[in-house]
Amino acid sequence: MTQSSLPFTQSEMHPSRWGNPALAGPLPEAARGLVEMAFGLDERAAIEAPAVPACGLGDDVLSALRSVLGDAHVLLDDDTRRLRTRGKSTPDLLKMRAGDLSDAPDVVVRPGTHEDVAAVLALAIEHRLAVVPFGGGTSVTGGLAARRDGFAGLVSLDLVRMKALVEVDKVSMTATLEPGLRGPEAEALLAEQGLTLGHYPQSFEYATIGGFAATRSSGQSSAGYGRFDALVVALRVATPRGELRLGSSPANAAGPDLRQLILGSEGAFGVITEVTVRVRPVPVEKVYEGWRWSSFEAGATAMRTLAQAGLLPSVIRLSDENETAINLAHPDSIGAEGAADCLMITGYEGEHDAVAAKRAAVTAVLEGLGGRCTGEEAGAAWAHGRFNAPYLRDALLDVGVLAETMETATFWSNREALYTAVKDALTAELGDGAIVLCHISHVYETGCSLYFTIATKGDADPLPQWLRAKAAASDAMMASGATITHHHAVGTDHRPWLTQEIGELGASILRAVKADLDPTGILNPGVLIPDA
């Protein structure tokens, strides 16, 4: 077992902002002018460190937790509890900025082993405590905002100590990782063995292995490496009913695949304590380039052609005309001259020969369909800024601009209708002054995901404004026959739409599994599972 050499060294995020506080800053000058023109500047102060409600747990409960984990791993201080309150959606940030800490946990506990987790769950059952598994805290769907009514208290089960690379099997090319490893920590441990996972969501720097599995995350390189759920071969889970070990062979026909019940279960069925994933050799070469398309439609057709020909690069994304012009992928360049066409980024990762062969084959297809390669500059700019865009959201909130994202997916034949329906719903709700951007973020043979970004002048209280827009867009997704989420998961925010997507019977299956694995309902109450 190899421990991460980076435990606790990465920065904690500010409770009401994204990312490394040292990298956060005001709006870049070029953007400031544009934002002023579009929405006006309305400086808004945020409450920096809102007061945390007192811990409501009795000494008996705290002593019991301490006897299992040790005093050092049962934390009651305000800073820790504030930092373990909710996730990083815009509503989460707005609530924190307004000083609302009503979802703060009573206590933060830090188990170090699977057995510790199991012991905490047993205590939670005994003392009727709600338990919220906490990975990187990057949920954008209210996955960390569990209901506390009916419980004696709320425990944040912080997996930050479980950061080991448990085992590597270089023959089978698998690695077993503990859930608390953040993206860079997991990659650093694997790189020491010449391996990579290749999972790079935009939240990579903070999100964890357990969180990726619990939310069925998808990364920027998932076209090449696969979605996170496709990378998982085995799981170890602590449930209130006992241990589950799933995945004893690369593939099987031993009934329904129970791994799929845990992947995406968002802490409602159990706590994932080990994840075995497929790994690849560290790529020798990584190269990204830009392509221009005369329209979103033309670029989307090219993506579909590549996917259906089995020719997807490691990275492929396509911005619509608005997103291309604003270029949110690279905030420093906002305000740069935009064109009325659409930017596609393609990226290749692997051995030199494989990269060259794939690149040549993709280039031939894209040129044949009318694409114009603009070279590596646009690709390098995207790669350089790929994790930076979220910082911009805080800078926009600071000047009174509401900014948020949402995503969905559908089959190719429905892509355009879905795109139009969601855009229209957002514009109808937010008004013509709102900017609605979209890109195709993930591509499959049969369809793709659409990722929307909105920016608009914030109301005095922007939260209800956003919730109305989000509801309208979610209704439009459902009416269009698309999914409520391609990779952000369900949490509390998408739960009202889940039954529409999976049907009453589907919802009842989820409730039945929950009732079996978590009969007293302590795990993430109110998250994922639709009410009867």
User: Which residue matches tokens 């509890």?
Assistant: 81
Report which residue type is found at 38.
A
Among residues 8 and 58, whose Cβ is nearest to ligand FAD? 8
Question: Which distant-in-sequence residues (6+ apart) come within 8 Å of 301 by Cβ?
Answer: 369
* CA dist., res. 423 & res. 454, Å (int): 10
Give me 226's structure tokens.
Answer: 């696969």
Complex with ligand FAD: residue 124 or 366, whichever CB lies closer: 124
Closest approach of Cβ 480 to ligand FAD, in Å?
21
CB of 356 to ligand FAD, least distance (A): 28
Is 498 strand, coil or helix?
Answer: helix
In the complex with ligand FAD, which residue's Cβ is closer, 115 or 367?
Answer: 115
Q: Min. distance of Cβ 123 from ligand FAD in angstroms?
A: 17
Q: CA geometry: angle at 372 spanning 371 and 373, to 5°?
A: 115
Measured from the CB atom, the residue of 111 and 462 that comes closer to ligand FAD is 111
Nearer to ligand FAD, 279 or 529 (CB): 529
- H/E stretch holding 271: strand 271-278
**CB 467 to ligand FAD: min, Å:** 18
Smallest separation, CB 398 to ligand FAD (Å): 16
Q: Rule CB under 6 A: which residues touch ligand FAD?
A: 18, 87-88, 132-140, 143-144, 159, 179, 201-203, 207-208, 210-212, 214-215, 217-219, 266-267, 271-272, 390, 487-489, 524, 527
Beta carbon nearer to ligand FAD, 18 or 348: 18
Between 238 and 366, whose beta carbon lies closer to ligand FAD? 238
Q: What span, in angstroms and rounded, lies between the C-alpha atoms of 352 and 366?
A: 21
Residue 81 Cβ, how far from ligand FAD at the closest point, in Å?
15
Classify 100 in phi/psi space as left (phi over 0), alpha (psi -120 to 50) or beta: beta
Q: Which has the closest alpha carbon to 506: 524, 529, 525?
A: 529
Q: What minimum distance in Å lies between the beta carbon of 370 and ligand FAD?
A: 29
Nearest 5 degrees, angle CA 341-CA 347-CA 348?
150
In this structure, is the dihedral angle defined by the CA atoms of residues 75, 208, 497 and 237, taken in order, positive or negative? negative
3-state secondary structure 188-221: HHHHCCCEECCCCCCCCCCCEHHHHHHHCCCCCC
CA–CA–CA angle 22, 27, 30 (5° rounding): 130
- Min separation Cβ 296 and ligand FAD, Å: 20
Q: Which of 227, 158, 162 is nearest to 489 (CA)?
A: 227
Q: Choose between 267 and 371: whose C-beta lies nearer to ligand FAD.
A: 267
Shortest Å distance, C-beta 295 to ligand FAD: 25
Q: How many angstroms separate the CA atoms of 451 and 487, rounded?
A: 10
Nearer to ligand FAD, 137 or 458 (CB): 137
Task: Name residues whose C-beta falls within 8 Å of residue 37's C-beta, 6 or more positions apart in sequence.
Answer: none
What single DSSP character describes residue 289?
E
User: What whole-number distance in Å separates Cα of residue 8 and Cα of residue 72?
Assistant: 14
Burial 195-208 (b: 16+ CB within 10 A, else e): bbbbbbbbbbbbbb
Contact 398, 26 (CB under 8 A): yes
H or E, element range at 497: helix 495-517
Minimum CB–partner distance for residue 387 and ligand FAD (Å):
8
Q: State the minimum distance, in angstroms, from the CB of residue 392 to ligand FAD.
A: 10
CA distances from 153 to 53, 61, 72, 99, 379 (A): 12, 10, 20, 21, 49
Residue with tokens 């409501």: 56
> Least distance (Å) from ligand FAD to the CB of residue 260?
15
The distance of closest approach from Cβ of residue 168 to ligand FAD in the complex, given in angstroms and rounded to an integer, is 20
193 within 8 A of 168, measured Cβ to Cβ: yes
Tell me the β-bridge partners of 236: 245, 274
Nearer to ligand FAD, 202 or 322 (CB): 202
Nearest-angstrom CA–CA distance, 79 and 101: 12
Give the residue at shortest CB distance from ligand FAD.
Answer: 211
Q: Cβ closer to ligand FAD: 175 or 489?
A: 489
